[in-house]
Amino acid sequence: MEKAEQVGADLGAIGAILNPFSGVANEYAGISGGQITVNHDTVLQVGKVIHDQWQQLNDITVPKLHSLMVTKIGDDKVSAAATKAWNDVLISNPDSYNKRIQQYIDGLKALADNLRTAAQQYGYTEEQITDAFGAAG
């Protein structure tokens, strides 16, 4: 197989893996990174943004993480090995995409929880905090 054909085949395989997520691409459109400063005047606003991003990712992504699994590619030994290797990278390895995505989402939740605590320490009422962050939990 020519190198170009192999690259094409590899891209096709990657496309097949990502295909289950094509229906939710627009749901991620508003999610982006940035830099923020937190102080007494901004903790509720920042906390709301972080909490809402966590909630959005948690609601959209976590139910779809199982879809990262590659099903049987073919009946030959090479395909079986490739299927296992892809699933290791996507799901099984300690640094798999599945685990990294979950760690990122968990990190956002922890940050939101820390901002909630900071808001309490700044003296905001539970009502103000709940309005910004939603119910605790």
DSSP string, 87-114: HIIIIISTT-HHHHHHHHHHHHHHHHHH
Residue 109 vs residue 137, higher pLDDT:
109
What domain range includes position 109? 3-133
pLDDT-above-90 percentage for the chain: 46
Model pLDDT, residue 72:
83
**53-91 pLDDT, tens digit each:** 999 999 999 888 878 888 888 888 998 898 999 999 999
Count of the separate structural domains present in the chain: 1
**pTM for the full model?**
0.68
Higher-confidence residue of 127 and 136: namely 127
Average pLDDT over residues 104-121: 92
Q: How far is it, in rounded angstroms, from Cα 50 to Cα 29? A: 16
Supply the DSSP string of 25-71, one letter for each residue. Answer: GGGGTT--------STTTHHHHHHHHHHHHHHHHHHHGGGGGGGPPP
